[in-house]
Structure 1
């Protein structure tokens, strides 16, 4: 039995209701696809009460709101999204002229900051820790703190943190790659050996496990076996069992994983790898115009990186009127795709320039479902935040999936400089992730949290949304919680345009649902903590309450 308080505050009144209910635990297939849109009081599912609001407001229609999605490239032709993208009416397509003089040539639907005019684009980029080390190596390498000038101490400490993270990641990924290299080389022997027991090669994991135990084989760890050259029968069976667990039961799958790990080691983690050669710009200078207007490139031979933004876009704006696929949080939304993400960490230059572009071209909400532990040019991003605040634009960010406390572990982009100074801006919402389970696992095990630097939570686990090639799948991450909040902000602005970005942020936070339960602290085995202690508000997004409170606040301003 869960004690729940659903609050809706205004400047004149505070309404609090309490109820005892048993949360739903068995879901139908349809409920699993739509759980996050449900209402706890009505459906016994801890969703955002979106369906409840739409059922009571079927005849209402709002004005159009532009939401910028700063993310990967996007599947712009998806059946449930193709009519939902912003079009720059001031630009004439494909004439190679900057018709609207905004600094970007042929920016019809947005801008790709990670490509060139030929259609090539970044697929692998450095981790930000690598960029930070490269930036400060000339000044700090092999130096002790007493040798550093007082004004450089903060950067020196961050450099030392980056070196530690980089060393740890190098060990981890090189060891993993070594194991995969060995698995690829030994795979033919594994297959041939298993043919002796299974001539048709139709074995299952359970059958291999039984064979492994039958021969009373030594239970060595997976890594030990992969990194050694152990070729006894037990090792060979164990290789295939692990491969099947990792969906690598074919040589092709193994080689695919090997190629991915090789790129992580030799590109993501390589100080000498220049990920900006394709673009041809200088990443240390802010400028307009680099990149291309193609936000959905399909080029043979290049890795497809449209998947992430396609999921995010569907949550915000999938067509609610076409009776197919999924329903986005908000109607009357046009998505402005701004591509900055790839396999690696986003570049601060691209983040800042994408925010400036979004603000200058009419976006009211900016969704940022990405993050990193370091920031080489944090001031650039902070200045862009302030620019968005000055122009009344709301920023929504996923808190990250590292399972740590972002009050103690820096995570960027952020409105916090992590140096005890006041927040950079007041228009930034940081969002953690919850599940459909109203028990100690209510907060997603992967979600970052923070009493100071996470504003509230929203559903982000097993969210059914649009995926590449007119398909639909469920996925999890704070990347999916953030667009639920972005869609809500757009919905509020659509009906109550006289509200400001800061007012909408406060409405979203004030109107959330408080669940009086203890949950497992992410990143711990089973350390329980009050849910209210994991974010600034201690609440979960509630669209129904938010729209009611927005209506009150809007009327007060008239």
Structure 2
């Protein structure tokens, strides 16, 4: 779990922001290794060679956050439901959703509103089973309930850990707020112009060192000696808290996490007013951009897939004929399996060929719902793209959801999913992004996901990183293949993307370690990274043979 942007502790695939954009944009991920010395997608090379004009369109659905529908670089790129008459309050196309012009908001309030914080999935699991399993031992549980009990126990351990973690962090911030002014005033003695940085503070701290601990485990005995006051300010600067309001904002954010994300008594579905134990159409609303601070992630993801490449501003997508279908399933918390499943059904039934799912979680309360929806997508020739997540761990050993296998089983439930890890622009042993998850069995391929130039709300842009941004590289490539070679099956498109990738035959640093070298082939099933140029060439050959 991690914080994203202004409000986001959404889910562990979401992008990691680390560099604001300024100056010239760098679309390294469109470059070619031979021509440019970057392991990009070679999309730029393909575009230069391709002269064939096409008129058909393809729809890519993004299961994600809200989105900036007005962004300058996404204009004319959204799917329009032409069977629906806008704003007449009638389900004209009788698809179960009223006035769904561009998509649907599955976590919206029925009155058109929104909410910001939802439960984590392990919070939901504990709430569901607490009345059955609380204070019980394994030997007390009936055989047919053993799996549920194990999942409850695992979830409860997660909940207790993070409650303790965030509560201690909040306690530290609360005290830090109390002593902030005293710290600032004290430091004026040493730095009258207040022009200090972390290095300056660290040098001063070493002269007045205390037995410090990580800031979230600080002793709470109200230390206000000189060393402590210096240390508090070092911690602030390390967290980019250069003003008191920054600390206050973070403390308020932690309040919301504790009282909503982690609170078993806080039921997020009360806002939606649906039946959370029943798959049904029509709940939610049609407002896709009602709150700007919830629009960042989907705007970024969508700009990679289909940003306008003809306007000479911002970034560039894979093709102008790709149309985006925003399906809102994410708030600050974990996605609900009901919303994931219903959004997949919606995407398939309304014409999407590719579904991008740049999110993840450690638990799944109703995996069977999502599994059936994934199979439904396969039956209708639709590709689903997943991100591997950003925890630097082996997901062969630690399960993440959604997934195309059932829990610990290795047999795939379908053959229409691609799980993507992230690489950087570096071409040495550090090519794999240090944050990226990996897995010889459960990650299929890697794609550019670090230092990616993306659109963000209010016609702005920045560089961002995360497996969230690697997944849409695959989605854009799949959409491009189908635009030109419409006779291919979903299984063939998946096979083309995986087989046409560039083999990385070298030792690389395994994510989560400082310098442990492993063969790249041990980090994913294909042993390759995405190459759009190669994929289009292979798709052409296979399509002709059909």
TM-score range, shorter chain: over 0.9
Summarize deviations over 1:193-235 as a string: whole Å, max 9, x none.
Answer: 223334443433333334334x443352343556441101121
Shift of 1:32: 7.0
The alignment of Structure 1 onto Structure 2 pairs a total of residues equal to: 525
1:325 maps to which residue?
Answer: 314
After superposition, residues 153-192 of structure 1 pair within 5 angstroms as: 153-192=146-185
Contact 2:305 2:473 in 1 (8 A): yes
Query: Within 1, Cα distance between the matches of 2:394 and 2:410?
Result: 18
Distance in structure 1 (CA, Å) of the matches to 2:460 and 2:447: 24
2:28 is the counterpart of 1:39: no
Aligned-partner Cα distance in 1 for 2:194–2:102:
50
Gaps of 5+ in 1: 1-28
Q: What residue is the counterpart of 1:212 in the other structure?
A: 205
**Counterpart residue number, 1:57:** 50
- 1:137 corresponding residue in structure 2: 130
Residue 253 of structure 1 aligns to a residue whose secondary structure is: helix
Whether 1:353 and 2:372 are equivalent positions in the alignment is no
Within 2, Cα distance between the matches of 1:229 and 1:184? 12
Map of 1:513 onto structure 2:
502
TM-score when normalising by structure 1: 0.91
1:421 Cα offset (Å): 6.2
The aligned runs of 1:335-354 (5 Å cut-off) are 335-354=324-343
Aligned to 2:106: 113
1:225-277 deviation line (CA, Å, top 9, x unaligned): 56441101121122112211211121111111001111111111111111112
**Equivalent runs, 1:114-513 vs 2, <5 Å:** 114-213=107-206, 215-218=207-210, 220-223=212-215, 225=218, 227-298=220-291, 304-420=293-409, 422-513=411-502
Q: Quick check: 1:183–1:226 contact (8 Å CA) kept in 2?
A: no
Task: Work out whether residues 180 and 226 of structure 1, in 8 Å CA contact, stay in contact via their aligned partners in 2.
Answer: no
Residue 160 of structure 1, CA deviation: 1.7
Contact 1:217-1:234 within 8 A present in 2 as well: yes
Contact 2:112 2:286 in 1 (8 A): no
Q: Which runs of 4+ in 1 moved over 4 A?
A: 29-32
The unaligned stretches of length 5 or more in structure 2 are 1-21
Distance 1:421 1:476 in 2: 29
Matches of 2:285 and 2:136 in 1, distance apart? 42
Q: Distance in 2 between matches of 1:390 and 1:553?
A: 21
CA contact (8 A) 1:182 1:226 kept: no
Deviates more, 1:328-337 or 1:412-421: 412-421
**How well do the aligned residues superpose, as a CA RMSD in angstroms?**
1.8
* Alpha-carbon distance in 1 for matches of 2:199, 2:391: 32
Equivalent residue in structure 2 for 1:66, among 52, 59, 82: 59
Q: Aligned equivalents of 2:35 and 2:397: distance in 1?
A: 38
Contact 1:120 1:278 in 2 (8 A): no
In the alignment, is the contact (CA less than 8 A) between 2:444 and 2:525 conserved in 1? yes
Are the structure 2 counterparts of residues 58 and 182 from structure 1 closer, same or farther at C-alpha, using a change threshold of 3 Å? Answer: farther
SS in 1 for 2:72: coil
